[in-house]
Amino acid sequence: MSANRKLVTWTLSVTVAALIVGAARPPEVRGQDFLLKYDDEMTVTTYYSTGGLSDQSHVILAPGGWVWDIYAEDSSRVDVSGGAISYHHTYDTSTTNVNSGEIKYRVFSYHSSVINVFDGYVNDINAYASSRINVSGGEVPGVSAYQSSRVEVTDGTVTTLSGYATSAITVRGGTMNRLYARESGTMDIYGAAFNELRAYDTSIVTFHALDFDLGDGLTLDGERILGTGILSGHWFDGTPWSVDVHWQEPDAQILAVPEPATLALLAVGLSAVFIRRRRLSS
């Protein structure tokens, strides 16, 4: 993106944001703007209306610091360490680390930018292009992955995790409520505690686990799980899990892939049953 295009995009975004949400700002606060470039560094401990970063600049949102809009581009870095951002836009190869504090409303992540949530609170993340989202702690009510973006969740709480287009989502741990797979997005699940799965369009959701238990309404065709119902089992570390396969469209695929070592045991003829049909008690 050229410098002129970025400037125009930034100016339009700030204008629209001001028109839409300006009334919600605390009327007693008189913010000002800051613009960092080259290797500038800044620690924010008060209120600013808009902040911009380019090149290899760096800003820290410390306790008491609050910026309504921050735009980060190039290889700049934003560290949220006790402070707050209302709206955040990231571009190019910029990196944002949320260590504590919060992003109150929404993050828009573009290009190859990276958002790391280690702790704290991020209300809503929207990932585009080839951006990457890593959640290893904290609370994130919503994550939506579009285009060819990548999301990995290893810990923390994500209320709703949605994948669109050709996005790729990997879940290795954490707690979440809903998984929505749409369009041709893919999800690989290795561990987590969650309640509901919905698979639409031509999406592919793969469960990698030690064993599987198919509840009423579910059937198995090779590795493919058909129908709706309760799918449960144990992760590789022995932790039990279950999920309500609430919706599955005909062209979507939900796959059950056992641990590779388990497949090897089956190949040499050891007796084991890893896909079980739940029996009704008489």
Q: Is the pLDDT of residue 110 over 60?
A: yes
The b/e string for 121-157 (b: 16+ C-beta within 10 A; e otherwise) is bbbbbbbbeebbbbbbbbbbebbbbbeebbbebbbbb
pLDDT at residue number 275: 47
CA–CA separation, 193 vs 191, rounded Å?
7
pLDDT at residue number 260: 65
What stretch of H or E contains 9? helix 3-21
CA–CA separation, 176 vs 197, rounded Å?
11
Residue range 29-78, pLDDT digits in tens:
345 799 999 999 999 999 999 999 999 999 999 999 999 999 999 999 99
Dihedral pair phi/psi, residue 149, rounded to 5°: -70, 165
Residue type, 98: V
Yes or no: say if 113 and 97 are a contact pair by the CB < 8 Å rule: no
Q: Mean pLDDT in the chain?
A: 87
CA–CA separation, 229 vs 170, rounded Å?
22
CA–CA separation, 212 vs 49, rounded Å?
52
Residue range 248-273, pLDDT digits in tens:
999 999 999 997 644 444 443 333 44
The angle formed by the CA atoms of residues 100, 90 and 187, to the nearest 5 degrees, is 80
The alpha carbons of the chain give a radius of gyration, in whole angstroms, of 22
> pTM of whole model > 0.75?
yes
Around Cβ 239, how many Cβ atoms within 10 Å? 14
Contacts of 156 (CB under 8 A, 6+ apart): 117, 135, 136, 137, 138, 139, 140, 174, 175
